[in-house]
Amino acid sequence: MKKILTIILFSAIGGVFTLGAYKLFVEKPQIVIEKTEKPLLTTVPTNFTSAISASIENTDFTVAAEKSLNSVVHVKNTSFKTILDPYAEFFYGQGNGIKKYSQIGMGSGVIISSDGYIVTNNHVIKNATEIEVTLNNKKVYKAKLIGTDPMNDIALLKVDAKNLPYITFGDSNSLKVGEWVLAVGNPYNLTSTVTAGIVSAKGRDLDGNKNIDSFIQTDAAVNPGNSGGALVNTRGELIGINTAISSRTGSFIGYSFAVPSNIAKKVVEDIMEYGNVQKAVLGVFGGELNNEAAKNLDINYTEGYYISGVTDNSGAKKAGLKAKDIIIRLDNVKISTFADLKGFLRTKRPNDVVAVTFLRDGVEKTVNVSLTKNLKETVSTLGLTLKNLNKSELKKLDISNGVKIEAISNRELSHYGVKKGYVIISINNENVTSVDEVSDLIENRQNGEVLRIEMLNLNGELERYIFR
């Protein structure tokens, strides 16, 4: 009997050690957060109610899905590149070392007009040699690139077709946190996929993002291939272009981000009307308020945009805005952060009039400000003063895009003969259409990234310069 008990006891202990070893060496913990945070107690209500499930069941997504599915397309980006194989060149003779290869990328797009205009992300079609669009009914079209806006990660395509199903733009400013939304796209080449979630946050500024800082954050599942797809509300209106996820694995872990529809709509309209994106300037500089900034400034407000200075000859200056004013609303849209301010201005054009509500000495005031255009800018990192070119100047130079050099203080460029009047055509293979784009591309480059600048000289010849 004792022998049996001893065997049972050792078996039990062995089982515990085996289970412990399995837990320790076999099971891998699932990483679900990106940043280390202080552990918080999880509280779970102990009562039971069917109210939540009833609310979900009563929310009908079928109308929005039906409106969206046929208007979201699969986008195939093919880029052909040529490389030189020095070994093949050495062994088989000159001309035998040239190799061509293709690289294929996949994404999504949204039809926004019956005659074939499609909006997608710039990164979906970047460096594309050929763009192919597949509709939900399996029809395939070759797409033409109409224009891009790298800063907002938006691109406009066109296919030669008529009577296509399309989505109408909704008002992303009217979105509310907690509102139901659908993400429609082609994740992992799975066409016509719909996922549901809620708006988790607005005006989100992502760490590591260099340009867009006014994302809509949702918990609708978005994966690789969803980029450029539609984020729609329950009425089937386009309220965002799905663009990014926050992940350590490359797949969805609970956070997805979309460019607001108001920004995308404005970019598309600018490209169609002007050929480039019109950037509006309020004419103030400063920073967003928080608890620390409020303490340093000795004020009682922890939200809003604090004006530390006003630009001469700007709309803000003419309207009477001053240093120490705190902007709290623009056209009745709440401004809590810099992302709110920048995101709102990206939906506006020069000469638009905006109602600016601000606090001055604790008193709320409102003035109308006429936005202006950033016509000239000095890029200090390059020692250049640049000027936008209008349509007639572009036509005269027989180019479709470019930014003119008005003054130069860069000794290296001057040494190589770069002069006032040269036109910057592209930077790192990105065509530039405004001084803002040049500034953004230069200032947002990664540390150590090579800078390749293509210019048109005074004789109309292309010259290329490389900086490290």
Catalytically annotated residues: 123, 153, 227
The two structure tokens encoding residue 321: 């805005």
Asked if 385 contacts 378 with a C-beta cutoff of 8 angstroms, the reply is yes
One DSSP character per residue, 283-316 reads -EEEEE--HHHHHHHT-S--SSEEEEEE-TTSHH
Give CA–CA dist 102/86, Å, rounded.
19
Give, in order, the Cα–Cα distances in Å from 180 to each of 110, 127, 218, 239, 386: 20, 35, 9, 11, 45
Give, in order, the Cα–Cα distances in Å from 444 to each of 151, 155, 374: 10, 19, 19
Give CA–CA dist 278/350, Å, rounded.
7
Asked if 180 contacts 56 with a C-beta cutoff of 8 angstroms, the reply is no
Give CA–CA dist 35/178, Å, rounded.
24
C-alpha 369, offset from chain centre = 27
Give CA–CA dist 149/433, Å, rounded.
9
Give, in order, the Cα–Cα distances in Å from 169 to each of 166, 232, 237: 10, 9, 6
| Those residues with Cβ within 8 angstroms of residue 30's Cβ, 6 or more apart along the chain or in another chain | none
Q: Using only the alpha carbons of the chain, give its radius of gyration.
A: 27
Per DSSP, helices labelled H in 202-337 are 261-274, 291-297, 315-319
Give CA–CA dist 180/251, Å, rounded.
22
The two structure tokens encoding residue 377: 């800018």
**How many residues are there in the chain?**
468
- Count H helices, E strands: the chain? 12, 27
